[in-house]
Amino acid sequence: MTAYCGLTCESCMIHLATLEQDQSKQQLMRESIAEQCSTIYGMNLLVIDITDCDGCRANTGRLFSGCSQCKIRQCAIHKDIDSCAFCVDYICERLQEHFLLDPDAQSRLEKMRIS
């Protein structure tokens, strides 16, 4: 499960919290996520804002609010591409900014482009 932008859903704390069965552990995870979103991305989220998420490419209807508002995701859906790796505009300005926060995402997309 790789997001359009190269993030890995399997290591995403929001996705891992979705999968967590123990409610008390899930609550602690969501508290940590809210704090990290504030610190890293400047998003002012409450724990209640950390919703279940099956990944930005899933069709389950369970999508984190930050992902539902993601401009990269919206662009990829609009262009009807499976990944930004296959976009004719790769690497766009949005991805350049994203890669500053997560350089590993760029590596994942680069590997997809080679394959």
Determine the length of the chain: 115
Type of residue numbered 80: D
Q: What is the C-alpha to C-alpha distance for residues 29 and 14, in angstroms, rounded to an integer?
A: 8
Q: What is the C-alpha to C-alpha distance for residues 62 and 49, in angstroms, rounded to an integer?
A: 13
Q: What is the C-alpha to C-alpha distance for residues 29 and 56, in angstroms, rounded to an integer?
A: 20
**pLDDT value of residue 22:** 97
- Asked whether the beta carbons of 93 and 72 are under 8 A apart, the reply is no
DSSP state of 58: -
**pLDDT value of residue 85:** 97
Q: What is the C-alpha to C-alpha distance for residues 25 and 95, in angstroms, rounded to an integer?
A: 33
**pLDDT value of residue 80:** 96
pLDDT in tens, the chain (115 residues): 899 999 998 988 999 999 999 999 999 999 999 998 888 878 888 888 888 999 999 888 899 888 888 999 999 999 999 999 999 999 999 999 999 989 999 999 999 999 7
The tokens of 105 are what?
Answer: 């995402």
Phi, psi of 5 (to 5 degrees): -85, -5
Neighbouring-strand partners of residue 2: 8
**pLDDT value of residue 33:** 92
**pLDDT value of residue 49:** 85
**pLDDT value of residue 90:** 97
